[in-house]
Amino acid sequence: MLSRSCLGLLNLVSVDDYQTLGGRVPRLVTTAAGDVPELYIDGMENPGSDDAVSPARRERRIVVANQLPIRAFREGRKWRFEWDRDSLVLQLKDGFPSDVEVLYVGSLKAEIEGCKQEEVAQLLLEKFRCVPTFIPSEIHNKFYHGFCKHYLWPLFHYMLPMSPSQGARFDREQWKAYVLANRIFAEKVTEIINPDEDYVWVHDYHLMILPTFLRKRFHRVKLGFFLHNTFPSSEIYRTLPVREDILRAFLNCDLIGFHTFDYARHFLSCCSRMLGLDYESKRGYIGLDYYGRTVTVKILPAGIHMGLLESVLSLPQTALRVKELKKEYEGKVVILGVDDMDLFKGISLKFLALGKLLEVDESLRGRVVLVQILNAARSRGKDIQDVKNESEAIAREINEKYSQPGYQPIVYINGPISTQEKAAYYAVSECCVVNAVRDGMNLVPYEYTVCRQGSFALDKALGVEGEDKKTLKQSVIIVSEFIGCSPSLSGAIRVNPWNIDEVAEAMNSAVTMSEAEKHLRHEKHYKYISSHDVAYWARSFDQDLDRACREHYSKRYWGVGLGLGFRIVALDPTFRKLSVDHIASAYRDTHSRLILLDYDGTMMPQATIKTPSKEVITVLNYLCSDPENMVFIVSGRDKDCLSKWFSPCEKLGLSAEHGYFTRTCDGALY
C-alpha cells in the first residue's frame, strides 16, 4: 500500500513511462548552495547505481567508523600496523557468521604522508581488510576537533553554547568540513561495495549524514546505523541549524540502533515534531513510515568482549601486578574511577564526594582510597584543560587536608595505561564509581564486574581456594542515573552526580556493605554482562538489519530531493500515476461524482502544523458548491477535531476515525 507520506509527490512517472524509458529514470540532483561541494547529475543510467549487475561473491559486512581498529607505529621511514584489540568495531566481528567477510572503512590514528598513502592503503586492504580514508589535515581539524568535538559533542550532552566560554557555536565552515569528510567516507565505501549483496554498518555521530550519500548512489543499499552517543531531547536537538539534514540522513537507513529507550524516544520525538512522521511498535522494534519505506528503530545496549578480558586476567603478569597492588593497598578499601578526560565525566564531582565522605566520617580517614585512572582526552582545547586543572586542584586540596604518612586519599593516574594494568586495578577494587553527568553508554562497570569475577589462573596465583574465592567474586558499582549503562545494572547504587551528599552516602554504603550483599549484586551483574556481550550485540543488530532489508527487491525506488534533503520513494511495482488529462475528461463527462479525500499527507503535508490552510478550505468549498459533487474527507482523526477544522465547509462530508463516525453532506450523523 502506498504510504501517505508519498501522496503529494505527483511528479513521479507511471509504470508505462518507466517501461518507455527502458527501466531508466532520469534524475537531476544538485546540492544545497554552499553546503555540499558537488553538482551531482544522474542521467539515463547511474554507473554506480543498482542497475549494474554485480558478480556473485562471498557475503560481506562493511563496517564504517571514524577510526579504523588499527594501531600505527612509525619505524624510521616505514610504518608498522597492528590490530587494536580494544576497539569495539573490531570486537563486533565475533557476532557475525564465521563465513562472512568483514571490511573496515575509517581513518587512521596517524597522519600518513601523501607519497605513502597509496602504499599504505594497499597494505591495509591486503593484510587487514581495511580501507583508510585519508582526510586532509585542515579538513580533519574542522570536521573532528571543530564540528564533532566542540559543537556536536557538547550539544548532544545537553550543553548549549549560550556564550563563547560555554562551548563553540555553529560554524558554517566546520559544517562544510563535516559534510566533505562524510563524502570522502562515502567514496571509499563506493569503491568496495557490492550493493546487491553487502551490508553496511555505520557507527556514531561523526558520520551521521553518510547514509544520505550512500542512499543517493545505491537506492537498495542495505544500510544500518548505530549511534554510540546520547541523542538529546527535541528541545535541545531542534537548536541545530542543520537539524533536518541530519534527521533525514538517519531516515535514509534501514535500521537505526540506540543504546537506551530514552535515546530512541528522543529521536522519534524529533521525527514527529520536526518532520511530522508517525511511528508504530511492532513485535520488539519500532517502525517509522518514511516515503513508502519502513525505517526500523532498535534499542540494543552494547556489551564488552568477555574473551579479551578473561585472557588478560589469565596472564601471569596480571596476577603478579594484582599481588603488588594488594600489598600496596593492604588494609585499605580501594574505590576506583576510570574515565576519559572530558567535560561530562563528573571527575571533580567525584572528588568532592570523597572529600565530603572523609569530612563526615572520621573513621574512614586513612582507610578509603580513590584511585582515579584518567584516559587521554580525545580532543583538545581550553575546555579540556579547564577540566584537568579543576580536577587536579580539588584532588590536591583533599590530599593536603586528609593525607597521613603512607596514606593519600586520591591517587591520580594519568593514562593511557594498558588493558592489563586496568584489569589489575579492577581486580583489587572494592567499588567502582562511574559519575558522569551525561554519557552514551560507558562500559567501565562491565569491565570491572568481569575482572572482579577473576579467573582460575588469578585465583591460583593469589592462593585463593574454596570459600575464599567469594572474596574476589564481589563488587559494588555506583553509577550515575544519566548514563546509558544505568538501566542494565539493576544491582548498582544509582546516584545523581550533581548531588555531592548523595554520592558520598553511596560511597559510604559501598564501603560498609556486607560481604553477602556484595556477592549477590555481583552475581546479578555478571549474569547479565556475560550473556549480553559484544558478540550478542553485533549478532542482534546484524539479524535485525537483515530483517529490515527483506523488502528491498519487492518495491520500485525513485530518488527525489536536492542535496542533503535527498530521499527515495518506495512504490509497489504495479503503481501507476493517474493521468490528469484522463481524470479531467472523466470529471467533465459525469454528472454524479463521489470524491473521497484523505487528509494527512494529501490535503495537508506531513508536518507539525495539522490545521487546514485557507487555500484548502477555499478549494473544498469550490468542489462542494457544485451540486453534482459529493465530497468527503476520510481520516483517522477524531470527529470533534475534524468538525472544528472544517466548520467553514457546510456541504462537506466527514468520515472520522476511519469511518466509525460519519457526517453526510446534508449534516446527518451516523
Q: Which of 346-355, 468-477, 622-631 has the lowest mean pLDDT?
A: 468-477
Instruction: Identify the residue with better confidence: 638 or 24.
Output: 638
Q: Is the pLDDT of residue 395 over 70?
A: yes
Q: How confident is the model at residue 192 (pLDDT cuts 50, 70, 90)?
A: very high
CA distances from residue 141 to 344, 381, 395 in whole angstroms, order as listed: 22, 12, 32
pLDDT for the residue 57 = 61
Q: How confident is the model at residue 248 (pLDDT cuts 50, 70, 90)?
A: very high
Q: pLDDT of 78-125, one tens digit each? A: 899 999 999 999 999 999 999 999 999 999 998 898 889 999 999 999
- CA 100 – CA 449 distance, rounded (Å): 31
Q: pLDDT of 594-604, one tens digit each? A: 988 888 777 77
CA distances from residue 603 to 357, 597, 618, 619 in whole angstroms, order as listed: 64, 7, 12, 10
Q: Is the pLDDT of residue 4 over 50?
A: no
Q: Is the pLDDT of residue 529 over 90?
A: yes
pLDDT for the residue 663 = 84
Beta strands per DSSP E along 376-522 = 410-414, 431-434, 476-480, 493-495
Instruction: Identify the residue with better confidence: 366 or 466.
Output: 366
The pair phi, psi for residue 88, each rounded to 5°, is -65, -35
Q: Which of 164-178, 407-421, 468-482 has the lowest mean pLDDT?
A: 468-482
Beta strands per DSSP E along 572-648 = 593-598, 629-634
User: What is the amino acid identity at position 490?
Assistant: S
High-pLDDT (> 70) share of the chain, %:
88
Q: How confident is the model at residue 658 (pLDDT cuts 50, 70, 90)?
A: confident
Q: Which of 338, 322, 302 is nearest to 444 (CA)?
A: 338
Q: Is the pLDDT of residue 465 over 50?
A: yes
pLDDT for the residue 392 = 93
In the predicted model, what is the mean pLDDT of the chain?
87
pLDDT for the residue 68 = 97
Does residue 416 have a cis bond before it (omega within 30 degrees)? yes
High-pLDDT (> 90) share of the chain, %:
63
pLDDT for the residue 329 = 93
Q: Is the pLDDT of residue 255 over 50?
A: yes
Q: Is the pLDDT of residue 670 over 90?
A: no
Mean pLDDT within 566-576: 88
Torsion of CA 133, 139, 145, 148, to 10 degrees: -70
Segments making up each domain of the chain, as ranges: 60-299, 306-531, 578-663
Alpha helices in 65-112 (DSSP H): 88-91
Q: Which of 89-98, 353-362, 380-389 has the lowest mean pLDDT?
A: 380-389
What CATH architecture applies to the domain 578-663?
Answer: 3-Layer(aba) Sandwich (3.40)
Asked if 91 and 84 touch (Cβ cutoff 8 Å), the reply is no
Q: Which of 418, 444, 414 is nearest to 431 (CA)?
A: 444
Mean pLDDT within 263-268: 96
In CATH terms, 60-299 corresponds, of 3.40.50.2000, 3.20.20.70, 3.40.190.10, 3.40.250.10, to 3.40.50.2000
Instruction: Identify the residue with better confidence: 352 or 76.
Output: 352
CA distances from residue 465 to 61, 331, 423, 427 in whole angstroms, order as listed: 45, 21, 21, 16
Mean pLDDT within 530-552: 95
Q: Is the pLDDT of residue 349 over 70?
A: yes
In CATH terms, 306-531 corresponds, of 3.30.1180.10, 3.50.30.50, 1.10.287.130, 3.40.50.2000, to 3.40.50.2000
pLDDT for the residue 454 = 84
pLDDT for the residue 609 = 60
pLDDT for the residue 469 = 53
Mean pLDDT within 530-548: 96
- CA 311 – CA 86 distance, rounded (Å): 13
Q: Is the pLDDT of residue 31 over 50?
A: no
Q: pLDDT of 229-243, one tens digit each? A: 999 999 999 999 999
- CA 565 – CA 559 distance, rounded (Å): 11
pLDDT for the residue 669 = 64
Mean pLDDT within 625-635: 90
Mean pLDDT within 504-522: 95
pLDDT for the residue 302 = 96
pLDDT for the residue 464 = 67
Instruction: Identify the residue with better confidence: 320 or 580.
Output: 320
pLDDT for the residue 18 = 37
Instruction: Identify the residue with better confidence: 588 or 128.
Output: 128
pLDDT for the residue 14 = 37
Q: Is the pLDDT of residue 282 over 80?
A: no
- CA 152 – CA 496 distance, rounded (Å): 24
Q: How confident is the model at residue 473 (pLDDT cuts 50, 70, 90)?
A: confident
pLDDT for the residue 204 = 97
Q: Is the pLDDT of residue 376 over 70?
A: yes
CB-based burial, 272-290: b 16+ in 10 Å, e otherwise: bebbbbebeeeeebbbbbb
Asked if 484 and 231 touch (Cβ cutoff 8 Å), the reply is no
Mean pLDDT within 498-511: 96
pLDDT for the residue 35 = 45
Q: Is the pLDDT of residue 17 over 50?
A: no
Q: How confident is the model at residue 564 (pLDDT cuts 50, 70, 90)?
A: very high
Joined together, the cell numbers standing for residue 389 give 586543572
pLDDT for the residue 75 = 85
Asked if 167 and 383 touch (Cβ cutoff 8 Å), the reply is yes
- The neighbouring-strand residues paired with 280 are 287
Q: Which of 343, 349, 329, 478 is nearest to 409 (CA)?
A: 329
Instruction: Identify the residue with better confidence: 434 or 385.
Output: 434
- CA 332 – CA 430 distance, rounded (Å): 10
Q: What's the farthest any 2 CA atoms get from each other in the chain?
A: 103
Q: Is the pLDDT of residue 446 over 70?
A: yes
Q: Is the pLDDT of residue 15 over 60?
A: no
Joined together, the cell numbers standing for residue 185 give 567516507
Q: Which of 84-93, 335-344, 374-383, 442-451 has the lowest mean pLDDT?
A: 374-383
